[in-house]
Amino acid sequence: MKIAKMRAPSKGIGTAFIAGDWHSETLDQPTYKILKDHALSLPPEMRNLIINGDFLDANHLMKRGDGFSTWFKRADGIDEYFIPMSEEELAWGNKILDDLQTVFNDIIFIEGNHDWRYKWFSGIVSPDYRHNFDYKKILKFNERKIDHVNYNDWLDWGEKLSITHGMYHGTTCHKKHYEASGAKNCIFSHVHYYGCKSFQVRGDTRQSISLPAMSNLNPEYIKNAEMNWSNGYGLIQMRPDSRFNFNVFQVWDGKLVLPNGLILDGRKE
Q: What is the pLDDT of residue 227?
A: 87
Q: How many domains does the chain have?
A: 1
Residue pair 21/132 in contact by the 8 Å Cβ criterion: no
Mean pLDDT of 233-258: 98
Sheet holding 3-6, edge to edge: 3-6, 154-157, 161-164, 185-188, 204-210, 195-201
**Using 50, 70 and 90 to split pLDDT, how confident is the model at 146?**
very high
Amino acid occupying residue 43 = P
Mean per-residue pLDDT, 115-122:
97
Q: What is the mean pLDDT of the chain?
A: 96
**Confidence bin at 165 (pLDDT 50/70/90):** very high
pLDDT at 44 over 80: yes
Cα(177)–Cα(164) distance, rounded to whole angstroms? 9
The pLDDT of residue 255 is 98
42 falls in which pLDDT band (50, 70, 90)? Answer: very high
pLDDT band at residue 202 using 50, 70 and 90 as cut-offs: confident
Full domain range(s) for residue 67: 3-265
Residue 259: band (very low, low, confident or very high) from pLDDT cuts 50, 70, 90: very high
- Mean pLDDT value of segment 176-184: 96
Tally Cβ neighbours within 10 Å of residue 40. Answer: 12
Instruction: Please tell me whether the overall predicted TM-score, pTM, comes out greater than 0.75 for this model.
Output: yes
Neighbours of 241 (CB within 10 A): 11
251 band by pLDDT with thresholds 50, 70 and 90: very high
Q: Which of 85-99, 212-226, 247-261 has the lowest mean pLDDT?
A: 212-226
- Looking up residue 171, the CATH number of its domain turns out to be 3.60.21.10
Averaged pLDDT for residues 248-253: 98
| DSSP string computed for 128-148 | TTGGGG-HHHHTTHHHHT-EE
